[in-house]
């Protein structure tokens, strides 16, 4: 029980770290004029990616740092993660994201209010909402965003499965895997992030969205314009299964190290069957 509680705390802490840094860089990007990232969007992506890396280094030894319900679901389907832990992990991840958004609000609350006053915006109308949660970008409809989130999260899980695959002889070592996963997140954001702010994580979007709902953004957060709130939840959950499944189908069966391990296991089993020390009935 103590270990299970520790795992849930670690998942919450991981999401807290990711949102505290990630939504803060969103504040830096959106709220300041001129924005320090106006012509340096890659810096926003790197900040999000390094937030993921830090979270992994801080918590992976305890919970494995899923820090994403889509990751948890894919691991349960394809890598024998306990189904009994899936929903508790999801809840912990959302709680951590909620608390991370609260810290961002403590830090940037006055700046948010100044931004809205300067631009004649209100929280109820969605002013500065984009610093907390995602929304469709230029020319993107909610249904197109759903497809985008499936694809982007599929890329994420495909990459995570490759990076963490025990039989992948070209995967980074244990100490550098966290950095590569962070760079994967940053690369997705740099190449596809403007579509709808690359949620690729239901907890990353819903936790801050829930906080914003209670912090005065109301219906602009939940259910949000065009009832968009469910898209960054459903899309990544589907995409995680697609990406993890694609790796398991297209790469995993053909890994040479896996083939060698299977052959060695078959040979060991054959030796045991033929051992003269075994008795027969």
Identify the CATH class of 2-267: mainly alpha
Residues 44-97 have pLDDT tens digits of: 999 999 999 999 999 999 999 999 999 999 999 999 999 999 999 999 999 999
pLDDT score of 256 more than 60: yes
Checking if the pLDDT of 38 tops 90, the result is: no
pLDDT at 71: 98
Mean pLDDT of 7-18: 98
- Confirm whether pTM is higher than 0.75: yes
What is the reported pLDDT for 110? Answer: 98
SS3 of the chain: the string is CHHHHHHHHHHHHHHHHHHHHHHHHHHHHHHCCCCCCCCCHHHHHHHHHHHHHHHHHHHHHHHCCCCCHHHHHHHHHHCCCCHHHHHHHHHHHHHHHHHHHHHHHHHHHHHHHHHHHHCCCCCCCCCCHHHCCCCCCCCCCHHHHHHHHHHHHHHHHHHHHHHHCCCCCCCCCHHHHHHHHHHHHHHHHHHHCCCCCCCCCHHHHHHHHHHHHHHHHHHHCCCCHHHHHHHHHHHHHHHHHHHHHHHHHHCHHHCHHHHHHHHHHHHHHHHHHCCCCCCCC
Q: What is the residue extent of each domain of the chain? A: 2-267
């Amino acid at each position: 029980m103590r270990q299970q509680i520790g795992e849930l705390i670690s998942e919450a802490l991981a999401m807290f770290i990711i949102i505290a840094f990630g939504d803060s860089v969103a504040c830096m990007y959106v709220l300041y004029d001129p924005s320090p990232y106006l012509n340096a969007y890659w810096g926003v992506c790197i900040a999000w990616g390094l937030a993921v890396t830090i979270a992994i280094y801080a918590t992976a030894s305890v919970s494995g740092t899923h820090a994403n319900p889509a990751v948890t679901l894919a691991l349960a389907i394809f890598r024998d993660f306990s189904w009994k832990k899936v929903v508790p992990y999801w809840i912990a991840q959302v709680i951590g994201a909620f608390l991370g958004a609260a810290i961002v609000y403590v830090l940037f609350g006055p700046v948010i209010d100044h931004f809205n006053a300067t631009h004649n915006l209100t929280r109820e109308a969605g002013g500065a909402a984009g610093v907390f949660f995602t929304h469709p970008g230029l020319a993107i409809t909610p249904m197109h965003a759903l497809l985008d989130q499936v694809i982007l999260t599929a890329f994420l899980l495909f990459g995570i499965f490759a990076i963490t695959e025990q039989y992948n002889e070209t995967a980074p070592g244990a100490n550098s895997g966290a950095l590569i996963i962070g760079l994967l997140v940053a690369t997705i954001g740099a190449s596809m992030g403007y579509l709808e702010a690359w949620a690729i994580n239901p907890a990353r979007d819903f936790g801050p969205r829930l906080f914003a709902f209670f912090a005065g953004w109301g219906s602009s957060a939940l259910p949000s314009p065009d009832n968009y709130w469910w898209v960054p939840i459903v899309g990544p959950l589907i995409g995680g299964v697609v990406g993890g499944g694609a790796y398991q189908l297209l790469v995993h069966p053909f890994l040479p190290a896996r083939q060698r391990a299977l052959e060695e296991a078959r040979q060991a089993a054959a030796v045991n069957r033929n051992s003269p020390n075994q008795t027969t009935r």
